[in-house]
Amino acid sequence: MLLTHILYKVPLLSTSGNMNVEVEQLTMDSRKAGPGRLFAAVRGTQTDGHRFIEKAVELGTSVILCEELPENRADDVTYVQVQDSSYALGLIAANFYDHPSKKLKLVGVTGTNGKTSTATLLFRLFRLRGYRVGLLSTVQNQIDETVIPATHTTPDTIALNELLSRMVQHGCSHCFMEVSSHSVVQHRIVGLHFAGGIFTNITHDHLDFHETFDNYIKAKKGFFDQLPASAFALTNLDDKRGLVMLQNTVAQKESYSLQTLGSFKGRIMSESLYGMQMEVDGREVWFKLTGRFNAYNLLAVYGAAILLGEDREEVLTQLSVLPSPPGRFEMVIVSNKPVGIVDYAHTPDALQNVLETIAGLRQGNEQIITVVGCGGNRDAAKRPIMAEIACKYSDRVILTSDNPRHEDPMAILEQMQAGVPPVAFKKTQTLADRRDAIFRAVEIAQPNDVILIAGKGHETYQEIKGVKHDFDDRKVLREAFQQSIAKK
């Protein structure tokens, strides 16, 4: 595509060189630069892409997008100077791929917890309704049946537009995507045309990145601020910040609630570990999902489907057969063994929700045994809080490693231990090896107990010092159950 076409509506500060050059590929990584390519120099958290402009030029790159022009410029290279490279790159990527987001109905889900659950349920519901659908989520990206591994919750702006254009080529009518707060701040979603936005909730997370809770709220709100008037903005009225999100949006304001009157109203009538009965807009429905947090997810999915023009009755019937998304309250059951639950709860709020749900469904004197850890190189403030929550709701707690990444596992565990109240010392144990921790939980459990393995959900690896080792909580738990059967 011609550079001049790619730059349509991009605010430019200056340009130098041939503007009629053809661009065949976009990249923000100098290592992938080369002839026929545009390299966007983006300022990151670790380094500054501007430092690699020379490298990109050496590799024969045709066009450089940057905020500061280098002093020594190559004659055969075109330089485009903009105020903000990542913002400009959003517009450029949308132009380059010919605005795929306008050719399908794109719905974004944002919030601290529930994005994957809500987006995945919407994807499955619309597949069930016979549409061709796309999904961009933490667990995986999908174009109908084709799975494309995900590296981020929200892909970078180039990958995002490329995936959307593949969805359009495949004939997808809808795409449901997670919008992480990082993606809003890093302008990954600039230039996208949304048909709708959903807010789930906001609680403590990612303060390592956003620094203050206010910045974090602003990041989430930034998504609704950029929605067009043709879109719907569906918010959770029961969240303290639900209305703030919609304060400045020009989109059609809609809401859902379990507590007050919203556009979509729900009520839990009864629940068990295996499902729940809800009243949704006056209709009674049994869902395979359980827990108050899932009642919110289901209500958001129902609301979005109706706002997208689907039939109420049909939507509820189809929603009632959907299972939990992978690693979200996923049951691992081996005969005569305790109930195992693998859940991606990796924030204080999520852990509290899951444990409250389990505690609420307890029938008699079953014990709740929780295995939990916290990821390295991520928000450290949540570590003691998560340990405290685990102790509050569980009869036994095993503190273990999540993805230590580049941190010392024991140092993370010490920070978690700081949150264990003295009265809970006796019931708490620390085993840094996650496999050992899961086996230990099975060893101490009685047949009716519930074992919660929290934090990693669908993940199939454990990241230690930059290396991803095979690890799947569900498989390890199943192995532990089987070994305990074999021992008897």
Ligand X SMILES: N[C@H](CCC[C@H](N)C(=O)O)C(=O)O
Which run of H or of E encompasses 79?
A: strand 78-81
Q: Which residue is nearest to ligand X (CB)?
A: 375
Binding mask 142-181 for ligand ATP (x = CB under 6 A): -----------x------------------------x---
8 Å CB contact between 200 and 297: yes
Q: Which residue is nearest to ligand UAG (CB)?
A: 44
193 contacts ligand X (rule: CB under 6 A): no
Instruction: Return all residues near 61 (Cβ < 8 A) that are at least 6 apart.
Output: 33, 34, 35, 37, 38, 39, 77
118 contacts Mg ion (rule: CB under 5 A): no
110 contacts ligand UAG (rule: CB under 6 A): no
8 Å CB contact between 94 and 192: yes
**What span, in angstroms and rounded, lies between the C-alpha atoms of 63 and 60?**
9
Among 138, 203, 235, 352, binds Mg ion (CB under 5 A): 138
* Burial degree of 352 (CB within 10 A; 0-12, 13-18, 19+): buried
The reply, when asked if residue 180 is annotated as ligand binding, is yes
Count CA within 13 A, CB hemisphere, residue 157. 31
* Burial degree of 218 (CB within 10 A; 0-12, 13-18, 19+): middle
Instruction: Return all residues near 50 (Cβ < 8 A) that are at least 6 apart.
Output: 41, 43, 66, 67, 68, 70
343 contacts ligand X (rule: CB under 6 A): no
52 contacts ligand UAG (rule: CB under 6 A): yes
Instruction: Return all residues near 10 (Cβ < 8 A) that are at least 6 apart.
Output: 82, 88, 91, 92, 95
The reply, when asked if residue 51 is annotated as ligand binding, is no
Binding mask 111-140 for ligand X (x = CB under 6 A): ---------------------------x--
Only one of the segments 108-116, 204-212, 372-380, 399-407 lies at the binding site for Mg ion (rule: CB under 5 A); that segment is: 108-116
Only one of the segments 26-34, 169-177, 261-269, 470-478 lies at the binding site for ligand UAG (rule: CB under 6 A); that segment is: 26-34
CB of 486 to ligand ATP, least distance (A): 30
8 Å CB contact between 406 and 394: no
296 contacts ligand UAG (rule: CB under 6 A): no
263 contacts ligand UAG (rule: CB under 6 A): no
**What span, in angstroms and rounded, lies between the C-alpha atoms of 22 and 242?**
46
Only one of the segments 215-223, 235-243, 360-368, 451-459 lies at the binding site for ligand X (rule: CB under 6 A); that segment is: 451-459
The reply, when asked if residue 29 is annotated as ligand binding, is no
Q: What does 47 bind: Mg ion, ligand ATP, ligand UAG, none (CB cut-off 5 to 8 Å by kind)?
A: ligand UAG
The total number of residues written for the chain in this structure: 488
29 contacts ligand UAG (rule: CB under 6 A): yes
The reply, when asked if residue 402 is annotated as ligand binding, is yes
SS (H, E, C) 131-191: CCEEEECCCEEEECCEEEECCCCCCCHHHHHHHHHHHHHCCCCEEEEECCHHHHHCCCCCC
Q: What does 370 bind: ligand UAG, ligand X, Mg ion, none (CB cut-off 5 to 8 Å by kind)?
A: none
31 contacts ligand UAG (rule: CB under 6 A): yes
Binding site for ligand ATP (CB under 6 A): 111, 113-117, 138, 153, 178, 200-201, 293, 296-297, 328, 343-345, 349-350, 353-354, 457
Binding site for ligand UAG (CB under 6 A): 28-31, 42, 44-47, 49, 52, 152-154, 156, 180, 182-183
